[in-house]
Chain A
Amino acid sequence: MTPLVLDDVLKKIHALPSLQTVVMELLASIDQDDTHIGDLAFKIEQDQALTAKTLRLANSSFYGMQRQITTIEEAIATLGFRTVRGVVTAAALTGFFANSQQAAFEVTPFWRHAIATAVCARELAPYLQLNPEHAYTTGLLHDIGRLVLATQFPTHYKATMAYGAQHDCSLLIAERTVLGLDHAVVGHALTRHWKFPETIQQALATHHAPLGQVPNPMQLVVIAADAIAHALDLSMEQNDAVPLLPPGIWKQLAISDSDLLQVFAKVEAQFARASLVLDT
């Protein structure tokens, strides 16, 4: 099969619609201390699909609410801004590709892994003095380039997956061999098109840094979160495999065994809630 040409991939990306304005504003608000919750709640409520999904999640039995939550502002007051922002971002991203009938793979396991990586990155971030919300969003998006390739170039991506299965190698290696480029490049281009914060763009571009290269703190967090999410089998994908890790990654993270065991437990507990976004 002929490898892809980067310019053709970029043309497809530029033809994709923008994310909802409110999602961009939520992401931009991560670094702002003076976020006006009332304003953001009002903006979220202008999007009926996002509002409906968020309220259904807030009222699901997992959150154990004693009374019905009927507004976004109420959801923020009850669940916290951080939880609502995570839910809205995940709902918007999963919804964006929901109607892709031609995807080369089933999207639910993809999103299960993305959500697991996101909640794990959020737990690991404080150990490296990183913003947990940046880490969450970066984890959620870390493989988004794969979804772009699977939906925009399904025949090529099916061939990539077949190569990976035949050689029992990682999809990253299969992408580079069959497509001549990988999902990190594509994910970076998409987040650039969507005008995501620069730190997220950079982390996506470099989350598969060469094994000999020392990763920066956000890379470390995303690489470790990705590996832990695979190791805990949260995607439940039959052919899943923990990817190769940069040498010395656990020393660089410098998180004790007992803390990591606690992180595993928190990730499984939070994943149970966060993945509800896929059911609604």
Chain B
Amino acid sequence: MSEPSNRSPLAPPERRSLERLEQLFRHIRTQPEGAYLLDLVRRYRRQMLS
């Protein structure tokens, strides 16, 4: 059994880019429900940066 690590389990900054978001939403960005969620996640990322 290993020691619990203290590294962040969240995605590193390069995985939080707009390009990464576009890639994650590639199947759904033209669907209204997908566009809404994409917009919300973009707002959330901006809030986190400010």
Contacts A241-B26, A261-B43, A271-B10 given; indicate if A228 touches B37 (C-beta within 8 A). yes
Please give, as numbers and ranges, the residues of chain A lying within 8 Å of B10 by CB-CB distance: 234, 268, 271-272
Q: How far is the CA of A272 from the CA of B1 in the complex (A)?
A: 19
Q: Which one, A71-79, A126-134, A136-144, A243-251, is touching chain B? A: A243-251
User: A60 near B: Cβ within 8 Å?
Assistant: yes
Give the total of B residues in contact with A, Cβ under 8 Å. Answer: 33
User: A233 near B: Cβ within 8 Å?
Assistant: yes
User: B50 near A: Cβ within 8 Å?
Assistant: no
Q: Which of B22-43 contact A (CB under 8 A)?
A: 23-28, 31-34, 36-38, 40-41, 43
User: Least Cβ distance of A174 to chain B in Å?
Assistant: 13
Is the pair A264, B44 in contact by a Cβ cutoff of 8 Å?
Answer: yes
Q: How far is the CA of A272 from the CA of B7 in the complex (A)?
A: 9
Is the pair A279, B27 in contact by a Cβ cutoff of 8 Å?
Answer: no
Is the pair A233, B24 in contact by a Cβ cutoff of 8 Å?
Answer: yes
Given B4, B25, B33, B47, which contacts A249 in the complex, CB threshold below 8 Å?
B33
User: Least Cβ distance of A210 to chain B in Å?
Assistant: 15
Please give, as numbers and ranges, the residues of chain B lying within 8 Å of A257 by CB-CB distance: 40, 43
Is the pair B15, A236 in contact by a Cβ cutoff of 8 Å?
Answer: yes
User: Least Cβ distance of B2 to chain A in Å?
Assistant: 7
Contacts A241-B27, A268-B10 given; indicate if A279 touches B2 (C-beta within 8 A). yes
Is the pair A260, B40 in contact by a Cβ cutoff of 8 Å?
Answer: yes
User: Least Cβ distance of A137 to chain B in Å?
Assistant: 21
Q: How far is the CA of A260 from the CA of B41 in the complex (A)?
A: 10
Q: Which B-chain residue is minimally distant from A228 (CB atoms)? A: B37
Given B1, B4, B24, which contacts A241 in the complex, CB threshold below 8 Å?
B24
Q: Which B-chain residue is minimally distant from A272 (CB atoms)? A: B9
Q: Which of A53, A233, A236, A271 has the most CB of B within 10 A?
A: A233
User: Least Cβ distance of A257 to chain B in Å?
Assistant: 6
Q: How far is the CA of A241 from the CA of B28 in the complex (A)?
A: 9
Given B9, B31, B40, B47, which contacts A244 in the complex, CB threshold below 8 Å?
B31
Q: How far is the CA of A7 from the CA of B23 in the complex (A)?
A: 38
Q: Which A-chain residue is minimally distant from B47 (CB atoms)? A: A261
Given B4, B15, B33, which contacts A233 in the complex, CB threshold below 8 Å?
B15
Given B5, B28, B47, which contacts A243 in the complex, CB threshold below 8 Å?
B28
Q: What would be 27 A-B contacts, judged by CB atoms less than 8 Å apart?
A: A52-B1, A56-B1, A60-B4, A168-B27, A170-B27, A231-B25, A231-B37, A231-B41, A233-B11, A233-B15, A234-B10, A241-B24, A241-B25, A241-B27, A242-B34, A243-B27, A243-B28, A244-B31, A247-B33, A261-B44, A264-B44, A271-B10, A279-B4, A279-B5, A280-B1, A280-B2, A280-B4
Given contacts A231-B25, A236-B15, A242-B37, could you give 18 more A-B pairs where the C-beta distance is less than 8 Å? A57-B4, A62-B4, A169-B27, A230-B24, A231-B37, A233-B15, A233-B16, A241-B25, A242-B28, A242-B34, A246-B33, A247-B33, A261-B44, A264-B44, A265-B48, A279-B2, A279-B3, A280-B1
In the A-B complex, the 8 residue pairs with the closest CB atoms: A245-B33, A60-B4, A275-B9, A279-B4, A233-B11, A264-B44, A231-B41, A241-B27
